[in-house]
């Protein structure tokens, strides 16, 4: 067959292109998709000490094993993990031929990774330059690629290109290949304007960010472990070989999926129990099986579960269609952890595709997730969830800032207390729709200073990056109005009308509380 350059439907090379189809070559490098590149081993060995070592491995005589995959046409074959497109480009960087065109960032990454793997010094240098060629257009994607390959200098160059501008909202696919920990360090670098220590690395946590270990205190040992029970009639075997003697009726009731799988088991000898193989690690499987049993449980045994264990159990409860255990974990363990460890829950749940769990935690998160600082869970989840959360909350804070900037202290230090729609001295309306608050106009403050202070504090809290529960706690207007009466802020008629308004609310509250208290007596009977 005549060897020529062709591309398959998948975009890989069907046949090698010159000079890698030369019959005079002495070695064949075989790509992962089965394309045979005929090369001169001396050229490749000069470029790569790794290939040099592979070529030097002694092989038996080709004639003694004619059907061996280690030889083609009597030439030794070296199989590699790179596909044909990547291997073609990599070898062209070694040969005295034109360098391959790499028009897209996604073309650079696999070639650079392969060059690093095979210790091709010249190819690595060329590919680093190619990578940096995309910094102006795709700084975030270049940063992520450099972080993935642990190229600190290139990562810093890309991060510097982001300083002074907002981190792009659109998430490049490369973020899936770096950790949330690296992304946190990007935010840290960005907020510092690039002024970081020489020891700063994106690929490793800064020692000052690692949480200090607390004084030694015995960790509560959870009682949520599988308890063997008599009359077991089936064995559940985990992916790591742990076996749990359980009961078909319990499993079938807990999960329609397990019910069907139990029904599909082949007959077994009466002297042995059937075995249900489950693709779940033993650590989460045991507690999950325990939760299938109708046993009254102390809520503390769920609260004491480590975060990772809870998320692993939830993930597998979803896979195994265990509705009741999933419900117990969501409203028991997560019901507590989403308040005390909301950020970790959000990141881990997002990574596992547990969207409802992530949403449960979302409502308790600070407006700016960077205020949480560093948490160890960041190193085990991709950066994408953190990036999306950061971008979303950045937009939320921008909205809050726009709405609250009419009140409180303006950027130039003056007061901004005209409420929306209130006429200013020039006849225009403060805070009318579509008006941008410039921060340079400072209308004359009016109203009682005490009330103005409450308004300004409320505005400041609403635009604070640390806010979380403030989203849900409305200002206590009744308390404010009661205090305003004590301060004699109203004229006589207004004061009487205000007292009537407060009496309406007080009457409603007292009647509802009395009725609920009486209803409680009925429940106690």
What is the tens place of the pLDDT at every residue in 442-463? Answer: 444 567 888 888 888 878 877 7
User: Could you tell me if 119 and 17 lie in one domain?
Assistant: yes
* Residues 119-146, mean pLDDT to the nearest whole number: 97
CA atoms 201, 203, 205, 207: torsion sign:
negative
Share of the chain above pLDDT 90, in %: 56
pTM of the predicted structure, to 2 decimals: 0.79
Q: Is pLDDT above 50 for 411?
A: no
Q: Which residues pair with 74 in a beta bridge?
A: none
User: Could you tell me if 70 and 117 lie in one domain?
Assistant: yes
Distance, in Å, from the CA atom of 197 to the CA atom of 348, rounded to the nearest integer, reads: 30
pLDDT tens sequence across 254-303: 999 999 999 999 988 888 999 999 999 999 999 999 999 998 887 677 88
Please state the three-class secondary structure of 44-89 as a single string: HHHHCHHHHHHHCCCCCCHHHCCCCCCEECCEEEEECCCCHHHHHH
**Domain span including residue 430:** 405-475
Query: Is the residue at 126 inside a domain?
Result: yes
User: Could you tell me if 410 and 482 lie in one domain?
Assistant: no
* Residues 97-105, mean pLDDT to the nearest whole number: 94
Share of the chain above pLDDT 70, in %: 82
* Residues 351-379, mean pLDDT to the nearest whole number: 91
Question: What is the model's pLDDT at position 416?
Answer: 47
User: Could you tell me if 450 and 484 lie in one domain?
Assistant: no
Q: Which residues pair with 37 in a beta bridge?
A: 29
User: Could you tell me if 416 and 453 lie in one domain?
Assistant: yes
Question: What is the model's pLDDT at position 223?
Answer: 63
Distance, in Å, from the CA atom of 428 to the CA atom of 416, rounded to the nearest integer, reads: 15
Joined tokens for residue 512: 């509802």
CA atoms 179, 207, 349, 166: torsion sign:
negative
How confident is residue 426, by pLDDT bands cut at 50, 70 and 90? very low
Joined tokens for residue 273: 């129990």
Query: Is the residue at 343 inside a domain?
Result: no
User: Could you tell me if 22 and 128 lie in one domain?
Assistant: yes
The least confident of 93-97, 105-109, 213-217, 280-284 is 213-217
Query: Is the residue at 151 inside a domain?
Result: no
**Spatial CA neighbour of 196 closest among 210, 182, 185:** 185
Query: Is the residue at 182 inside a domain?
Result: no
Question: What is the model's pLDDT at position 34?
Answer: 92
**Spatial CA neighbour of 418 closest among 427, 431, 437:** 431
pLDDT tens sequence across 46-83: 999 999 999 988 776 655 566 667 788 888 999 999 99
Question: What is the model's pLDDT at position 504?
Answer: 84
Q: Choose one of 133, 155, 183: the last residue of a domain.
A: 133
Q: Is pLDDT above 90 for 327?
A: yes
User: Could you tell me if 422 and 412 lie in one domain?
Assistant: yes
Question: Taking the CA atoms of the chain, what radius of gyration do you get in angstroms?
Answer: 33
Query: Is the residue at 358 inside a domain?
Result: no
Question: What is the model's pLDDT at position 215?
Answer: 44
Q: Choose one of 118, 133, 148: the last residue of a domain.
A: 133
pLDDT tens sequence across 162-200: 999 999 999 999 999 999 999 999 999 999 999 999 999
Q: Is pLDDT above 50 for 390?
A: yes
Q: How many domains does the chain have?
A: 3
Ramachandran angles phi, psi of 356, nearest 5°: -70, -35
User: Could you tell me if 10 and 111 lie in one domain?
Assistant: yes
Q: Is pLDDT above 50 for 104?
A: yes
Question: What is the model's pLDDT at position 91?
Answer: 97
Question: What is the model's pLDDT at position 407?
Answer: 72
CA atoms 122, 158, 211, 366: torsion sign:
negative
Question: What is the model's pLDDT at position 292?
Answer: 96
413 or 326, greater pLDDT:
326
The least confident of 58-72, 106-120, 426-440, 462-476 is 426-440
Question: What is the model's pLDDT at position 507?
Answer: 83
* Residues 429-438, mean pLDDT to the nearest whole number: 39
**Spatial CA neighbour of 398 closest among 436, 361, 424, 427:** 436
Question: What is the model's pLDDT at position 137?
Answer: 96
């Amino acid at each position: 067959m005549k060897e020529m350059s062709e591309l398959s439907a998948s975009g890989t090379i069907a046949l090698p292109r010159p000079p890698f189809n030369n019959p005079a070559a002495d070695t064949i490098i075989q790509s992962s998709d089965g394309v045979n590149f005929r090369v001169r081993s001396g050229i490749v060995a000069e470029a790569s000490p790794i290939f040099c070592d592979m070529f030097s491995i002694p092989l038996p005589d080709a004639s003694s094993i004619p059907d061996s995959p280690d030889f083609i046409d009597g030439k030794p074959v070296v199989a590699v993990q790179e596909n044909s497109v990547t291997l073609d480009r990599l070898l062209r960087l070694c040969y005295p031929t034109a360098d391959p065109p790499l028009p897209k960032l996604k073309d650079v990454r696999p070639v650079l990774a392969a060059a690093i793997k095979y210790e091709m010094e010249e190819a690595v240098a060329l590919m680093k330059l190619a990578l940096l060629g995309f910094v102006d257009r795709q700084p975030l994607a270049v940063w992520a690629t450099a972080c993935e390959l642990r190229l600190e200098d290139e990562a810093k160059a890309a991060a510097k290109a982001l300083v002074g501008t907002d981190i792009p909202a659109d998430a490049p696919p490369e973020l899936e290949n770096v950790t949330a920990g690296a992304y946190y360090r990007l935010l840290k670098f960005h907020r510092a304007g690039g002024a970081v220590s020489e020891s700063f690395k994106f690929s490793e946590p800064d020692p000052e960010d690692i949480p200090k270990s607390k004084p030694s205190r015995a960790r509560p040992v959870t009682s949520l472990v599988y308890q063997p029970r008599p009359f077991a009639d089936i064995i559940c075997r985990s992916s790591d070989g742990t076996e749990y003697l359980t009961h078909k009726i319990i499993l079938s009731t807990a999960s329609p999926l397990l019910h069907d799988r139990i029904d599909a088991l082949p007959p077994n000898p009466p002297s042995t129990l059937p075995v249900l193989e489950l693709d779940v690690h033993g650590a989460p499987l045991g507690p999950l099986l325990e939760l299938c049993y109708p046993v009254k449980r102390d809520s503390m045994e769920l609260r004491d579960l480590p975060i990772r264990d809870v998320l692993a159990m939830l993930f597998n409860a979803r896979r195994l269609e265990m509705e009741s255990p999933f419900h117990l974990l969501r409203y028991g363990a997560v019901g507590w952890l989403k308040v005390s460890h909301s950020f970790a829950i959000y990141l881990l749940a997002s990574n596992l595709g547990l969207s409802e769990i992530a949403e449960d935690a979302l409502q308790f998160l600070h407006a700016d997730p960077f205020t949480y600082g560093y948490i160890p869970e960041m190193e085990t989840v991709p950066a994408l969830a953190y990036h999306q959360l950061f971008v979303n909350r950045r937009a939320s804070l921008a909205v809050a800032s726009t709405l609250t900037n009419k009140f409180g202290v303006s950027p130039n230090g003056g007061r901004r207390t005209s409420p929306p729609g209130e006429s200013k001295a020039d006849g225009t309306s403060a805070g009318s729709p579509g008006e941008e608050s410039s921060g340079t106009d400072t209308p004359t403050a009016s109203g009682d200073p005490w009330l103005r202070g409450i308004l300004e504090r409320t505005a400041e809290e609403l635009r604070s990056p640390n806010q979380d529960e403030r989203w849900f706690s409305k200002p206590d207007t009744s308390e404010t109005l009661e205090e305003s009466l004590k301060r004699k802020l109203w004229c006589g008629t207004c004061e009487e009308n205000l007292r009537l308004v407060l009496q309406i609310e007080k009457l409603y509250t007292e009647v509802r509380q009395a009725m609920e208290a009486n209803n409680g007596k009925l429940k106690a009977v």
